[in-house]
A = this chain, B = another copy of it.
Amino acid sequence: MKKQILFTPGPQANHGEMTRENIFHRSQQSVELLNKTRDILKKIFGSEYVFAVPSSALELMNIFVTSLNKDLLLNKKIAVIWSGYWSDKIIKVLTDNGFIVDEISEDIRSYNEDQLEEYFKTTKYDLFFGLVCETSNGKLYEYETIYKVMKKYNKLLFLDAVSYAIFYRKNNDLNQHADFVLMSSAKNFLSSPGFAFLTMRKNYTDYEIFAKNTYLSLDLYWHYEQESGQLPHTFHTVLLSYIYEDLLFTYMNKKEICQKIDKLKSIVDTQMKEIGFELYNKENWDVNNLSVYVCSDGIDATKLIKYLEQHDICVGSDMAKINSFRLCISYKNTEEEINLLCKLIKDYINN
């Protein structure tokens, strides 16, 4: 395939080679790798339990949703905290699976502790879904206070952290601010696509919201792990071994990764301002590797994105419908690539 320079939220830039030799997914080597992967994820996120599943993150969210018991399904006890395009996607996964869900206004995030007390004391919802980074507009959200109050009233929080640059976080232990955290190999760990991770604050069996409604379920994965440490189906063990290395690298080199990305972000931001493009996600931009740029008047973002792709440079699409493109800087990107991107954008504008 023709090489691409990637500035997409996922997959991101990567280099090197991997062997095509296969490893048997039912062998002890494979089990040991799965165990190592689960262990490091537990350590990073302060989790008691973790599902490592060979799928995309949204497919793993779907498995979570179809594993919820019918009480949550029938009694309208689920709410999604609205944030934009991607929270609508979560609502779609829930409603397409037969759940009736309510959308909670993002205002909840500006409540003080008393207001949160008032809200959670009386709300009918038992399970809340929220995003750490709304990938469409780059907004970052904190859940520490919300979760503290939720816990007092036995509410559960599912956090989609897929588009979130975990290495920017001083304390990664996201499971201290949520019951369930969803991540992916390509987006959270600057690695290859292929694996999604669902970490849990307590052990899987400590939650009462799950039931075995379908064949493909958390229950299936849990039983396989208990019985043999294996996964239920054939998976690409060797791919996971490379993902594991990237996961470890990301965890061990947070400072170095952030420094490099900060430098590249600053170079690109200076040039974008010169071009006349405005940064949309200014708030907390310093701890995010995703930048959302709104194009200046007369420039159609979607056409610009297409032009860049024709020159083998990929950026994220205008998900928020604000005439923007989304730019994710990865540790593996280079200054040369940034300069090429900026040059191409200038060429496009001038032609």
Contact = CB atoms under 8 A, between A and B. Distances in A.
A216 interface: yes
A4 B1 CA distance: 29
A351 interface: no
A8 interface: yes
Scoring A216, A234, A239 by chain B CB atoms within 10 A of each residue's CB, the highest score goes to A234
Given A10-B234, A236-B194, A314 B24 contact: yes
A193 interface: yes
A342 interface: no
Copies held by the complex:
2
B214 A66 contact: yes
Nearest to A238: B1
Interface stretch (A52-60, A264-272, A295-303): A52-60
B24 A1 contact: no
A10 B23 CA distance: 10
Contact of A22 (B6, B21, B238): B6
15 contacts: A1-B33, A4-B21, A4-B29, A6-B22, A10-B234, A15-B21, A17-B19, A17-B20, A20-B192, A27-B309, A54-B56, A57-B234, A58-B233, A65-B215, A66-B214
Instruction: Please name the 3 residue pairs, one residue from A and one from B, whose CB atoms are nearest each other, closest first.
Output: A56-B233, A96-B215, A11-B22
Interface of A: 1-4, 6, 8, 10-29, 33, 54-59, 62, 65-66, 92-93, 96-98, 184, 186-187, 192-194, 212-217, 232-239, 241-242, 309, 314, 317
